[in-house]
Amino acid sequence: MAELSSSVLSVQGIGPKKAALLKKMNIHTLADILNTYPRDYEDRTRILPVAETQEGDKISIYATVGTAPTVHYVRKGMEITRLTAFDSTGVMHIIYFNNKYAAAQLREGTEYLFYGRVQRQGKQKVMVSPVAERYVGEGAPGRIVPVYPLTAGLCQRDMARLAETALQCPDLPEDPLPAPLRQAYALPDYAQAIRFIHAPHSIAEVQVARRRMVFEELFLLCCGLQRLKEKRREETGCPFPQTDLRPFWQALAFAPTGAQRRAVADCIRDARTSRPMNRLVQGDVGSGKTVVAAALCALAAQNGYQAAIMAPTEILAAQHYHSLCGIFDKLGLKTVLLTGSMGAKAKREALQAIASGQADIVAGTHALIQKNVEFARLGAVVADEQHRFGVAQRASLRSKGQAPHTLVMSATPIPRTLALILYGDLDISIIDELPPGRTPVATYAVGERMRKRIYAFMEKQIAAGGQVYVVCPLVEEGDTRLKSVEEHAAALQKALPNRHIGILHGKMKPAEKDAVMGLFSAGKLDVLAATTVIEVGVNVPNACLMVVEDADRFGLSQLHQLRGRVGRGRRQSFCIFFGADKGQAARDRLKILVSTNDGFEIARADLTQRGPGDFFGKRQHGLPGIKLANLSEDLQLMQNACNEAENLLQKDPTLAGYPVLRERVERLFSTDENEVFS
Ligand code: ADP
Ligand code: MG
């Protein structure tokens, strides 16, 4: 009999070819299958009389084939099979495209359960490519069918067969949730729940199981975070007793705002002590968070330690590198850059400078947490745009030093309960003041008929010495509804024949991206046509106009982030969103951005309009072990799970009485798993 550790190859119908495809999805064993949750379910148990079906319903009908299938060749490579099926209440027309085989199975005069979406063609009701099953009278007709994530070459039947085999294994994992907790919250045990997930008899079972799994995820996570926090409390780090920042302030090109000074004072207070600092700086885009990070670097250097700033993109890392050089060169401190795309020689030199202690300040990307990076005496770490990093990644960076002081910076406002989980152990400094002399970005939402005028406006801004961003949404392959960056750039070049236009998108090689970004920063390009690779952190103060194409395709918070790329200098800046002619809903959404510049207010509106699912996309939170929980919808469950975790750890701090739980919690934050969450 198969065990959970058995390879997928042990299942009938899975050969080396399919096993290789499964491997691509990170599925190697039967245990992996159990952990691959369906992304949706088809409820084929809802059976309606034909007359009661409504256009748009995805339901089953129980109907008799009335006319034998007829095949029509529409054109080369396209054939349509038509038939009709009826019950006592009406007739359903059934159509298959390029699937003679499916239709050929259907016998005239025989009853089938057809499952599909009901459409209307004139007066006729139509089902296109329904699943048809004979109902032989065993059990209830219709089923709940899990819909798994797939990759090309695999089908739902493969996944179903794998799941079925996995569920029969005698060695299902033990339940990490203590029984009294399960009882208190009426949660099924693991074995029951995993059956409900892969082989439910009703949607209600799916819901019960989901609730249990969400609780488990959050409970394990809370236990883990709680333990990390405890551990950190016992650490002794590197106190920074020298706190004279006068040379630093002098090297800065501007006077800090009150809010920046306060945040820096918070850091000084924390970093003086031997307990490692753990602080979040939250401030809207453009509020000047980088200064606080730089101040911490200066403190570290003054006390004989190195400091590292980790940014989520190469562009941002390079930008930090340049602005830090601008300050620290004057102070006689050495700043180096470390990114994945650097040439072998440059990388070797950087690694060498970091390991020898020659480098005082290091700016970089994820490359900083690679195994081959060793610091001589790392005393402070900064994670910029922290929501782009996982907990584990931040922990890896910290582990490069002896409990270094940690600063994380974010422009993303988050719901309170979530903040409790994410930042329960963090102190928070808020930057609630913009640098002086900023005139708010003037924002307009426009439609296609304004295009000529907008091009003329670009020309005017460029003639006055300004620069322009044009941002386009990512176009999926084969999607012809939107223009790609290249197409937009070509149109621009036609409209502005004498201007220099650069293109930036995610598929370019890092070195190419750097080159283009460098030209734009240096003012050698007038227009940068880009995808959202520039969304986060990019700082070119001379850019004074941002045009967003198909703005209705972006989330509000994302548009606000994008808008934050302009209005960084003294020039009056403008932001123009195309898409106001795409219907009332689009217009209403864009109006919010036109009417306010307040990131928190926009995030709130975003949350209510888009629903939280999108707002906190799966990867955004970067928390290990969260697959099902929706961090803004499952708030009550989250609160309960957290309270219970705290209670349990108070009674049993090392979880000695709960070996299964303990093992799972430890696995959650083990370094092996880091790779998975990177
Ligand atoms: P963010 O908070 O979005 O990371 P940055 O740190 O990139 O913001 O700062 C945005 C811009 O404001 C940069 O061009 C920076 O040089 C400038 N800046 C920051 N602080 C001040 C200040 N106190 N006075 C003037 N300009 C400032
Ligand atoms: Mg920033």
Tell me the backbone φ, ψ of residue 177, rounded to 5 degrees.
-80, 125
- What one-character-per-residue DSSP string does 211-263 give? HHHHHHHHHHHHHHHHHHHHHHHH-----------HHHHHHSSSPPPHHHHHH
What mean pLDDT do residues 72-93 have? 88
Report CA(668)–ligand 2 centroid distance (Å): 30
> Which ligand neighbours the alpha carbon of 309 most closely?
2
384 Cα nearest atom in ligand 1 = 4
Strand-pair partners of 467: 543
Q: How far apart are CA 222 and CA 642, in angstroms?
A: 6
- 308 contacts 364 by C-beta, under 8 angstroms: yes
**What confidence score (pLDDT) does residue 634 get?**
73
Say if ligand 1 is within 6 A of residue 289 CB.
yes
Give Cβ neighbours of residue 435 (< 8 Å, ≥ 6 apart). Answer: 254, 257, 286, 287, 288
- Tell me what pLDDT residue 464 has: 95
pLDDT digits (tens, 9 = 90+) for 21-53: 888 888 898 888 888 888 888 888 888 999 999
Ligand 1 mean position to 116 CA, how many Å?
Answer: 55
Mean pLDDT over residues 583-608, rounded? Answer: 83
The pLDDT of 473-490, averaged and rounded, is 82
Cα 309 to ligand 2 centroid, rounded to whole Å:
11
The mean pLDDT of 331-349, rounded to a whole number, is 94
pLDDT confidence of 350, banded at 50, 70, 90?
very high
- Ligand 1 centroid distance, CA of 285 (Å): 9
Pocket of ligand 1 contains residue 382 by CB under 6 Å: no
Half-sphere exposure in the Cβ direction for 401 (13 Å, CA): 26
Is the separation of the CB atoms in 551 and 579 below 8 Å?
Answer: yes
Answer yes or no: are the C-beta atoms of 534 and 475 closer than 8 Å. no
Nearest CA to ligand 1 atom 27: 435
- pLDDT value at 139 more than 70: no
Q: What does residue 522 show for φ and ψ, rounded to 5 degrees?
A: -80, 0
Q: pLDDT for 287-321, tens place per residue?
A: 899 999 999 999 999 999 999 999 988 888 988 99
Residues 6+ apart with CB under 8 A from 566: 441, 469, 543, 544, 545, 546, 573, 574, 575
Pocket lining: 125 vs ligand 1, CB cutoff 6 Å: no
Most confidently modeled range among 76-90, 320-334, 374-388, 430-444? 320-334
- Atom 25 in ligand 1: which residue has the minimum CA distance? 435
Find, among 206, 171, 213, the residue nearest to 190 by Cα.
213
> Is residue 565 in contact with ligand 1, taking CB distance under 6 Å?
no
Task: Give the model confidence (pLDDT) of 206-256 as tens digits.
Answer: 889 989 998 998 899 888 888 877 777 777 888 999 999 999 999 999 999
Confidence band, pLDDT 50/70/90 cuts, at residue 397? confident
pLDDT greater than 60 at residue 559 = yes
**Helices within 25-111 (DSSP H only):** 30-34, 100-104
- Residue 7 per-residue DSSP state: B
Which ligand sits nearest to residue 292's alpha carbon?
Answer: 1
Q: Which two tokens stand for residue 239?
A: 């106190």
- For atom 4 of ligand 1, the residue with the nearest CA is 289
Beta-carbon contacts of residue 611 (< 8 Å; ≥ 6 apart): none
Say which residue, 35 or 419, is predicted with more confidence. 35
Q: What is the pLDDT of residue 619?
A: 40
C-beta 570 within 6 A of ligand 1: no
Strand partners, 470: 529, 547
* Mean per-residue pLDDT, 399-408: 90
Bigger pLDDT: 196 vs 284: 196
Cβ pair 436, 309 in contact under 8 A: no
Q: Which residue has the higher pLDDT, 58 or 619?
A: 58
pLDDT of residue 122: 87
Ligand 1 centroid from CA 468, angstroms: 19
Q: How far apart are CA 111 and CA 126, in angstroms?
A: 17
Q: pLDDT at residue 148 above 90? A: no
Q: Determine the pLDDT at residue 387.
A: 65
With 50 as the cut, is the pLDDT of residue 615 above it?
no
Residue closest via CA to ligand 1's atom 24 equals: 435
Q: 537 C-alpha to center of ligand 2: Å?
A: 4
Rounded CA separation 233/274 (Å): 11
Cβ neighbours for 230, distance < 8 A, ≥ 6 positions apart: 649, 653
- Has residue 58 got a pLDDT over 70? yes
Q: For residue 445, give the amino acid letter.
A: A
- Residue 343 pLDDT more than 50? yes
Please give the helix or strand (H or E) that residue 647 lies within, else none.
helix 635-651
Task: Please say if the pLDDT value at position 168 is more than 80.
Answer: yes
Q: Is the pLDDT of residue 406 over 50?
A: yes
Q: Is pLDDT of 672 > 60? A: no
Place of tokens 């042990």: 10
pLDDT of residue 36: 87
Question: Could you tell which of 250, 280, 287, 319 is best to mutate to test the pocket of ligand 1, judged by most ligand atoms within 8 Å of the CB?
Answer: 287
Poorest-pLDDT segment among 37-46, 438-447, 515-524: 37-46
Asked if pLDDT for residue 142 goes beyond 80, the answer is no
pLDDT of 419 over the 70 cut: no
Cα distance between residue 632 and residue 615, in whole Å: 9
Residue 8 identity (one-letter amino acid):
V
Ligand 1 atom at shortest distance from the alpha carbon of 564: 3
Average pLDDT of every residue of the chain: 86
**Residue 275 CB partners (closer than 8 Å, separation 6+):** 233, 235, 236, 237
Is the pTM above the cut of 0.85? no
Separation between Cα atoms, residue 116 and residue 285, nearest integer Å: 47
Alpha helices in 577-658 (DSSP H): 584-595, 599-610, 612-615, 635-651
Which pLDDT belongs to residue 69? 83
Using the predicted structure, report yes or no on whether residue 620 has a pLDDT greater than 80.
Answer: no
Torsion sign over Cα 308, 309, 311, 316: negative
671-676 own/partner pairs: CB under 8 Å, 24+ apart: 671/392, 671/396, 673/392, 673/624, 674/390, 674/392, 674/393, 674/395, 674/396, 676/624
Atom 10 of ligand 1, nearest CA residue: 286
Please list, in sequence order, all residues whose beta carbon lies within 8 angstroms of the beta carbon of residue 168, skipping any fewer than 6 positions away: 1, 2
Does 320 sit in the ligand 1 pocket, CB within 6 Å? no
Confidence of residue 674 (pLDDT cuts 50, 70, 90): very low
pLDDT surpassing 60 at residue 671: no
- Rounded mean pLDDT, 425-447: 85
Residue 388 confidence (pLDDT): 65
The pLDDT score that the predictor gives to residue 49 is 93
Separation between Cα atoms, residue 566 and residue 564, nearest integer Å = 5
Query: Who contacts 126 (Cβ-Cβ below 8 Å, separation ≥6)?
Result: 92, 93, 94, 95, 118, 119, 120
pLDDT, position 535: 63
Number of residues that make up the chain: 678
User: Is 286 a pocket residue for ligand 1 (Cβ < 6 Å)?
Assistant: yes
Q: What is the pLDDT of residue 632?
A: 59
Distance CA 81, CA 599 (A): 54
Rounded distance from Cα 407 to ligand 2 centre (Å): 13
Torsion of CA 525, 528, 529, 530, to 10 degrees: 140
Nearest to 285 by CA among 562, 67, 99: 562
Residue 558 Cβ < 6 Å to ligand 1: no
Residues, Cβ < 5 Å to ion ligand 2: 537
* Residue type at position 500: H
State in Å, rounded, how far the first CA of the chain is from the last one.
Answer: 36
Region 627-644: mean pLDDT is 77
CA 361 to centroid of ligand 1, rounded, Å: 19
